[in-house]
Amino acid sequence: MTMSLKKIYFLLMLLCCGFSAISAQELNAKVTINSDKIQGVSANVFTTLQSSMMQMLNENRWTNASFEQKERIECNFTITINSVANNSEFEAEILITSRRPVFNSSYSTSLFNFRDTEFKFEYNQGEPLEYNENMVTSNLMGVISFYAYIIIGLDFDSFALNAGRPYFEQAMNIANAAQSLNTDGWKAFASEKNRYALALALTEESSRAFHPMWYNYHRKGLDEMAANVNRGRIQLFETLTDLDAIYQARPSSVLLMLYGDAKLSEIVSALVKATSEDRKTAEEIFTKIYPTKGSIISQLKK
């Protein structure tokens, strides 16, 4: 699939001219609910929830950007139900992934690969799922809309510098509003890896190096490789300076986990053919940040 330049130009126009009301849907989301662990609850409950979630994600207008069908963001929400009480109170975990195509290539790159194990929600079969941008009406809607904005923010940031900022801020607004739910996953400063921590990391000043790194990695690195693989590889290598800056600012930052899960295997594969000096530098940075990922990083020694 070849990425259209229209999306890039439109994002740049939005940044320069502001956001205007243009009807659009942005996501091409697939929802899968695994209820194999659950007995005594009708399978129709999960089928209905799965369908309703997919409809809400794909038909809601999350931004003012204009997308063609082929430009919608490919993403997956995989929910594993671990337990249920009273036929309507669920404990689950959710894996969220998203990808975007690389320019002039059939290759698509992972943008988000995030597992959230703190997902509790209530749902009654047939209950409408409606997003309200002014309040968090339920934990189910809060979690799903939160990740929709994270997905959109990471996608937009990969095409234009800081284009994802409004959507990260919206995710932060949801995280703040969700404090009133008093539910695991939202609690401020309770974890370095929960939803609140993710939204904070994507909006706070101390993590500002992430955004130019993300943009340069995708637009100046990956998107350049079809035209000039060596130039693209050099740009990928140069993003490691910002990755190291994120680590120096906060070694436990959730953004390092986000990067590692989505990008580490990809960039190591790209740098295997870099100069020996660049491979050594990359190996040192990656080993420092990801000490448990030696099997991936060791490819740089070949």
Residue 199 in any domain: the answer is no
What tokens were used for 180?
Answer: 């009133």
> Within the chain, how many helices (H) and strands (E) appear?
11, 4
Residue 97 counted as domain residue: no
Mean pLDDT of 74-84: 98
Query: 100 forms bridges with which residues in the sheet?
Result: 109
**pTM assigned to the model:** 0.92
Mean pLDDT for all residues in the chain: 92
Cα 280 to Cα 298: distance, rounded to the nearest angstrom: 10
Is the pLDDT reported for residue 12 higher than 80?
no
Residue 268 lies in a domain: yes
pLDDT in tens, 265-297: 999 999 999 999 999 999 999 999 999 999 999
CA 246 – CA 186 distance, rounded (Å): 23
pLDDT, residue 57, reads: 97
Question: In this structure, how many other beta carbons lie within 10 angstroms of the beta carbon of residue 75?
Answer: 25
Model confidence at 263: pLDDT above 90: yes
Question: What is the pLDDT, as a whole number, of residue 3?
Answer: 47
Within a domain: 241: yes
- Tell me the mean pLDDT in the region 93-118: 97
For the residues 138-163, what does the mean pLDDT come to?
97
Structural domain of residue 277, as residue ranges?
A: 207-302
Number of domain units in the chain: 1
Distance CA 63, CA 222 (A): 25
Kindly report which listed range (7-21, 77-91, 278-292) carries the lowest average pLDDT score.
7-21
Give the least confident one: 16-25, 186-195, 221-230: 16-25
| Domain contains 136 | no
Give residue for tokens 């080993």.
287
Least Cα distance to 152 among 29, 302, 298 occurs for: 29
Give the pLDDT of residue 24. Answer: 53
Mean pLDDT of 182-195: 93
- Note the pLDDT tens digit of each residue in 18-30: 444 344 589 999 9
Mean pLDDT of 25-51: 95
> Is 279 part of a structural domain of the chain?
yes
